[in-house]
Amino acid sequence: MNQIILQHDNVLSDVHMFLPKARQRMTRLNNVGQPVFISKFKFLSNAEKPERNDEGTRENSDTETHSAQEDDEEEDSERNVEPALDEDGDLDVTHRPRNDSTGDDSSRSREVVCPVILKQSHKSALQNEDDETDECFDDIIRLEHTMATPLEDVGKQVWRGALLLADFILSKPLLFKGATVVELGAGAGLTSIIMATLAKRVYCTDVGEDLLSMCRRNISLNEHMIERAGGEVRVRQLDWLQSDLCTDPDVDLSWTEEEVADIHDNTSFIIAADVCYDDDLTDGLFRTLYRLCSNFAHACTVFISIEKRFNFTLRNMDVSCDAYNHFRHCLSQLEDLVDGQCSYTVEQIPSTFPQFLQYERIDQLELWKVTAKRVPFDEAQSNSKQCTS
């Protein structure tokens, strides 16, 4: 672990970079050699909650930003990292050359990643580490995650969209009480855990063996909260690029026939946090939403959080937010759809709901609501007549 290697295409979530007063504890290496950390997500006390005006911006954001910066400075001095500067005082960054000159994807995909380890835990993740914050253990969600991952493993980190969606859920306890909910692209599982403190049953879904097993561990780590509320989380595979739910009993975390019937008969909410960052995956996600809603017995409401990320692209030779624009395009297509089964309405939810968890609720974080209603039988008949005439 002496050598620190960050791959050129690794991404690191701001949640892990800027979590104020965070102490990342490395707990283990996962089975692809990535260091796994454990972080605590604390519910803010009333005194700590940022005030929000009608536009959803924080009124005390200056002071909060200042304290976050102070925390960063403290961490920097702890790490004793001196940035390398050239003669003009510019940052001198050495880029690591790409090593896939062979074009062989398999050699590139699983290089060991070693981010800076701030603190290493000697206890297992499931043990209760006895520091001061555990005194109010009921106010803390503990999650395993990795710190910097290639794009295909982004679900192993926690993203700000999950915290925005979690805040919204916590602000609407009566809406979600006793509901059956499906989460798509749940990643480390934070939003499903929060939802299960209100809902009756949450199907927490994603893809990938490592990710789903990390997610399952996170559910166990927070089981006391879920059980006390009478909720339940079932971790299941759901791949947006497949047209059917996997019901093969030999496949780990596949669906039983009863579960498939349960989601069709009882789901009233689908939730998804930060799941639109690649256009092909976004198309798959919307196809999945369409398929699920068309099979549901009742109306369903979908909540999707997204962070509008601006990138410079060579294609546009400018800064743009292509993934966000594609997401908005998919929303419009869904709203315009006339298929005789469901009708869809779309609206943005202003981010004025209270903040329960600690993160920076930046203006680029958005929450969208899609309502899918079954088209009444008579209307469906007349739509189909119009289409055929």
Ligand X SMILES: C[S@@+](CC[C@H](N)C(=O)[O-])C[C@H]1O[C@@H](n2cnc3c(N)ncnc32)[C@H](O)[C@@H]1O
**Nearest approach, Cβ of residue 142 and ligand X (Å):** 15
Which C-beta is closer to ligand X: that of 275 or that of 357?
A: 275
**Nearest approach, Cβ of residue 187 and ligand X (Å):** 3
**Nearest approach, Cβ of residue 143 and ligand X (Å):** 9
**Nearest approach, Cβ of residue 211 and ligand X (Å):** 6
**Nearest approach, Cβ of residue 77 and ligand X (Å):** 29
Q: Which residues bind ligand X (CB under 6 A)?
A: 154-155, 158-159, 161-162, 185-188, 206-208, 211, 238-241, 273-275, 277, 281, 284
Residue type, position 241, single letter: L
**Nearest approach, Cβ of residue 300 and ligand X (Å):** 18
Q: Which residue is nearest to ligand X (CB)?
A: 155
Which C-beta is closer to ligand X: that of 275 or that of 289?
A: 275
Residue 273 CA, distance from chain mean position: 4
Cα separation of 180 and 199, whole Å?
A: 6
Which C-beta is closer to ligand X: that of 212 or that of 343?
A: 212
Longest Cα pair distance anywhere in the chain, in angstroms? 76
**Nearest approach, Cβ of residue 64 and ligand X (Å):** 22
**Paired sense of beta strands 119-120 and 365-374, if any:** unpaired
3-state SS, the chain, equals CCCCCCCCCEECCHHHHHCCCCCCEEEEECCCCCEEEEEEEEECCHHHCCCECCCCCECCHHHHHHHHHHHHHHHHHHHCCCCCECCCCCECCCCCCCCCCCCCHHHHHCCCCCCCCCEECCCCCCCCCCCHHHHHHHHEEEEEECCCEEHHHHHHCCCHHHHHHHHHHHHCHHHHCCCEEEEECCCCCHHHHHHHCCCCEEEEEECCHHHHHHHHHHHHHCHHHHHHCCCCEEEEECCCCCCCCCCCCCCCCCCCHHHHHHHHHHEEEEEEECCCCCHHHHHHHHHHHHHHHHHCCCCEEEEEEEECCCEEECCCCEEECHHHHHHHHHHHHHHHCCCCCEEEEEEEECCCCCCCECCCCCCCEEEEEEEEEECCHHHHHHHHHHHHC
Burial class (CB in 10 A: 0-12, 13-18, 19+), 189: buried
Which C-beta is closer to ligand X: that of 186 or that of 196?
A: 186
Which C-beta is closer to ligand X: that of 118 or that of 207?
A: 207
Cα separation of 358 and 41, whole Å?
A: 7
**Nearest approach, Cβ of residue 207 and ligand X (Å):** 4
**Nearest approach, Cβ of residue 115 and ligand X (Å):** 17
Which C-beta is closer to ligand X: that of 159 or that of 296?
A: 159
Residue with tokens 């947006």: 240
Which C-beta is closer to ligand X: that of 19 or that of 158?
A: 158
**Nearest approach, Cβ of residue 70 and ligand X (Å):** 26
Which C-beta is closer to ligand X: that of 171 or that of 381?
A: 171
Which C-beta is closer to ligand X: that of 150 or that of 284?
A: 284
Which C-beta is closer to ligand X: that of 39 or that of 343?
A: 39
